Amino acid sequence: MSQGEDAVGTYEKWDFAEGTELEKEEQRKPKGALSPERAVVLLYMLLALTFVLFMALTIVNLQRVSAVWEVLEQARIRSENSHTTAWHNLSEVQRALVSQEVENVRWKMTQCKEECGKELSDRLRVLEERDGLEPVLRQLAEVKQEQSRVSALLDVALEEMRNLSEIICTRCPAGWQQFDKTCYFFSSTTKPWLAAKEFCANFSSHLAIVNTEQENKFLANHIMDNRVFWLGLTDMHTEGNWQWVDGRILSLSYVFSLIGGFWNSGEPNNVGHQGEDCATIYSSGHWNDATCSNAETWVCERSC
Q: Are residue 127 and residue 244 in the same domain, yes or no?
A: no
Give the structural domain span for 200: 176-303
Q: What pLDDT does 141 receive? A: 78
Percent of the chain with pLDDT over 70: 62
- Angle 134-138-141 from CA coordinates, rounded to 5°: 140
Q: Are residue 180 and residue 288 in the same domain, yes or no?
A: yes
Give the pLDDT confidence of 174-188 residue by residue, as tens digits.
899 999 889 999 999
Contact call for residues 206 and 302 (beta carbons, < 8 A): yes
Q: Are residue 108 and residue 88 in the same domain, yes or no?
A: yes
Give the pLDDT confidence of 196-245 residue by residue, as tens digits.
999 999 999 999 999 999 999 999 999 887 889 999 999 999 898 999 99
Write out the H or E segment, with its range, that includes residue 201. helix 193-202
Q: Are residue 185 and residue 224 in the same domain, yes or no?
A: yes
The CATH number assigned to the domain holding 185 equals 3.10.100.10
48 found inside a domain: no
Q: Are residue 190 and residue 116 in the same domain, yes or no?
A: no
Q: What pLDDT does 298 receive? A: 97
Between 145 and 169, name the one with better pLDDT: 145
Ranking 67-76, 88-97, 289-298 by mean pLDDT, the lowest is: 88-97
Ranking 77-81, 94-98, 163-167, 188-192 by mean pLDDT, the lowest is: 163-167
The reply to whether the predicted model has a pTM over 0.75 is no
Say how many domains are in the chain: 2
Give the pLDDT confidence of 25-43 residue by residue, as tens digits.
555 555 555 677 888 888 8
Torsion angle, alpha carbons of 288, 292, 295, 296, to 10: 30
Q: What pLDDT does 302 receive? A: 94
219 found inside a domain: yes
Radius of gyration for the chain, computed over Cα atoms and rounded to the nearest angstrom: 46
Say how far apart CA 240 and CA 245 lie, in whole Å.
15
Q: Report DSSP letters for 191-233, one per residue.
A: B-HHHHHHHHHHTT-EE----SHHHHHHHHHTS-TT--EEEEE
Q: Which of 167, 197, 231 is the last residue of a domain?
A: 167
Contact call for residues 298 and 227 (beta carbons, < 8 A): no
Side-chain-facing half-sphere of 272: CA atoms under 13 Å: 12
